[in-house]
Structure 1
Amino acid sequence: MTLKRVNWPALAAGWALAYGLLALYWTTGGGGFPFGPGDPDPGIEKGLSILGGVRQSVAAPVIAAVALGAAVIAALLAGRASRGRAGIALETVAWTVALTLGVVVPDYRPLVAMGHVPVLLAGKPFGWPDGVSIGSQLPWPVLNQGILMAGGALFALAALTHRRARRDACGSCGRTGVSDGRDPARWGRIAVWVAAGVPVVYAATRFAWALGIPLGFSSAQLRDMAAEMPGIWWGGAALGAMGLGGSVLTLGLIRPWGERFPRWIPVLRGRRVPVALAVVPAVVVAMAVTSAGLMFGRVLYLDPDPGKLAMMGPGLLWPLWGAALAVAAAAYRIRRRGDCAHCVNAPVKTPSGQPSAACRTH
């Protein structure tokens, strides 16, 4: 799928209009308001949700106005590309909406659901513990956060589409026919190592606690918490292991096995890895870990308890993880794009006369 084949600004406008109409329904007192009193989970931790303390009667009309205003912005992006400052202003507003929806409003629960739901699906043949189900991991407030994140992605794509049109770049591949001389293989490699390193820090703390090493806690506190919540440290170690797995997969964005499936994978061995198969999960995870990291920052700012700092401290690096992963995914996509069927700009030459790594066919 390319940016040219999909009218992303129109989709963003449709999403914002639909959400705005839903917010108007909430304004009239309709049920299903997913924030404040409609979302009981923020009571678990002060500051968990940025909208955890709002009232429906006040927040719903504001959400409706913002959503409908965003729909107008997206509709303008869908029209003829605005040049100069007007175009830049539209894109700036769209990016602001994208970041707000994608990483500011959501908290850590989408990330938790992304980790728990696959485990539950794998364990379904063996049965689930009482009270545990996929539905328990995906209540309406969490599903709503997923909808918001999808809207954020649409607005980001809408802004990118408009920027390409404003710069007379190809709507499909993004090339303008002129290279800026910057090699995405170089800056992408830096981003990959940052994105792969942050989860290692998180995993190290979880493994240490599982082994009884008191990083940030006393030995007595570790024992007391284990007695109060049996299995907490081994559960944390399992999450750390998942983080390490994600770290290894991130390295695939700069390794040959990230472009062709390794020989040990049946059926797929030797075949090219679809670009979307690497980029889409990376972007989704980048959004989820960034929103979770921002939530940890809110919680610790409102309640700087030493115990919480030890538990959530590594999460303060997660916005860096998310940003680096998004940049790494972008570099991977640029590096993997081949000759474009929709323009005459590929491949281009760098100032040295060599084919640009951004346009090299893989």
Structure 2
Amino acid sequence: MTTQLVKTQRRQTNWPRWIGYAAAALSLAYGALGLFWALGGPGFPIGVGDEELMAEPDFAFKVSLLAHATPAVAGPIIAALGALGAAAGVLMARGYREGAARWLLPAFAYTMALGLSVVIQDYRPLVVIAYTPVLAIAKTFFGWPEHAGWGDLYHPERVNLLFLLLLGVVWAMTAVAYRRKAVGVCGDCGRTGREGLSLLQRWGRPATWTAFAIPFVYAVTRWAWALGFNLGIDPEFYAEGQEQGLWLAGAGLATLGAVGAVLTLGLMQRWGEVFPRWMIGLRGKRVPPMLAVVPATLVAVLVASAGGMYIRVVLARGGVTAATWPMELPETLWVVWGAALFTAAMAYRERRRGACATCSRDAIAK
């Protein structure tokens, strides 16, 4: 192995070996909760047990596809899916590929991944993740808002959605690990040894620019509200939001999104690979790829799931109007934002990979 290859060699990752077991264990645990709820146990956090949604029951189904779920119906379904997930996760971890299992197992995994991380989600996981640093800064340095705390942000229903989103990501990783076993490529890196300039690399740059631009559509409207421009929305509603500090909070979230948008450019710039000179203590050092890939992927999933909910809301209301466009139009673009950001992150990851510690195959052509 050449000196250069040794320098760029990536550490061996073990997640493909245990991720299937993690999916099985988490699914079984949540399935047990489903059985508990079906038998009358308290704490059902979905549908009729979701206090936030039930505060406006007529609007609930527009926000969540599970708004009408009840413990008597959803509990047994959760229990059954949990049991199936436990069995499927173990089989996939062991690389079982006999007969129809070769396509049934990954189909189940991808269905669970998409369903848990996008389809059944709404805006609240994004709210929790985005407002956590905003609330931490506001509380620590400004003592604001006075009558809101962490309990107001981390409702049990929101924590439940976050757990389900995490489980969806675990199932997606399980499907990727199983596919590598099924097609006979390296289980650690997925390379075949015949890599060239991939489709991801061709689309990486336009995807990055798209993921950079879309957050500013949202940010401009929120900054305008904070500066006193109502942009045509109902004046009484706007005045009420001013009194509650709603537009200032929205501006904080928008600023966080704008900062993230600028950081997105690092997925195709040199400062996204080597820390710039102004970063004292880190200047000139290599940026760990996962430092960019993990948060970018998380944001991509969060905004795509929230964007899907906003599209449902807009369609249910009959479309965007002149009086509602600032509140609804920017969020409908989040599905595109999520897809673009995920593509950009995967292209960056693919480009930054060094030689594999398991198969010793080198990075793809750049």
- Superposition TM-score, scaled by structure 1 size: 0.88
Cα separation, partners in 2 of 1:135 and 1:210, compared to 1, 3 Å: closer
How far, CA to CA, are the matches of 2:153 and 2:363 in structure 1? 46
Cα separation, partners in 2 of 1:347 and 1:237, compared to 1, 3 Å: closer
Please point out which of 138, 142, 153 is paired with 2:158. Answer: 142
**Shift, 1:273, TM fit:** 1.4
**Shift, 1:284, TM fit:** 0.9
Runs of 5+ consecutive residues of structure 2 not aligned to the other structure: 1-11
**Shift, 1:228, TM fit:** 2.1
Cα separation, partners in 2 of 1:81 and 1:57, compared to 1, 3 Å: closer
Does residue 276 of structure 2 align to residue 262 of structure 1? yes
**Shift, 1:40, TM fit:** 1.4
Retained in 2: the 8 A contact 1:35–1:141? Answer: yes
Runs of 5+ consecutive residues of structure 1 not aligned to the other structure: 349-355, 358-362
Deviations 1:227-265 (A, max 9, x none): 222144444333322221111011111111111222222
Does residue 64 of structure 2 align to residue 49 of structure 1? yes
Secondary structure of the 1:252 match is helix
Give the aligned partner of residue 243 of structure 1.
257
- Amino acid of the structure 1 residue aligned with 2:284: G
- Amino acid of the structure 2 residue aligned with 1:15: L
Does residue 72 of structure 2 align to residue 72 of structure 1? no
**Shift, 1:137, TM fit:** 0.4
Alignment of 1:143-182 (within 5 A): 143-179=159-195, 181-182=197-198
**Shift, 1:50, TM fit:** 1.8
Give the aligned partner of residue 333 of structure 1.
349
How far, CA to CA, are the matches of 2:14 and 2:211 in structure 1? 25
Give the aligned partner of residue 61 of structure 1.
76
How far, CA to CA, are the matches of 2:165 and 2:186 in structure 1? 27
**Shift, 1:128, TM fit:** 4.4
Retained in 1: the 8 A contact 2:16–2:177? Answer: no
Cα separation, partners in 2 of 1:225 and 1:130, compared to 1, 3 Å: same
Please point out which of 120, 126, 133 is paired with 1:111. Answer: 126
Worse-superposed segment, 28-37 or 223-232: 223-232
Retained in 2: the 8 A contact 1:167–1:176? Answer: no
Retained in 2: the 8 A contact 1:184–1:335? Answer: no
**Shift, 1:212, TM fit:** 5.3
- Amino acid of the structure 2 residue aligned with 1:254: M
Does residue 241 of structure 2 align to residue 225 of structure 1? no
Deviations 1:76-125 (A, max 9, x none): 21122527864233212211110111111121111111121112222343
Aligned length: 346
Does residue 44 of structure 2 align to residue 33 of structure 1? yes
- Superposition TM-score, scaled by structure 2 size: 0.87
Does residue 32 of structure 2 align to residue 21 of structure 1? yes
Cα separation, partners in 2 of 1:81 and 1:176, compared to 1, 3 Å: farther
How far, CA to CA, are the matches of 1:213 and 1:118 in structure 2? 26
How far, CA to CA, are the matches of 1:99 and 1:41 in structure 2? 24
Secondary structure of the 1:68 match is helix
Please provide the CA RMSD for this pair. Answer: 2.3
Secondary structure of the 1:280 match is helix
Secondary structure of the 1:165 match is helix
**Shift, 1:155, TM fit:** 0.4
- Amino acid of the structure 1 residue aligned with 2:110: W
**Shift, 1:207, TM fit:** 3.2
Worse-superposed segment, 324-333 or 114-123: 114-123
Please point out which of 187, 201, 207 is paired with 2:203. Answer: 187
How far, CA to CA, are the matches of 1:182 and 1:275 in structure 2? 18
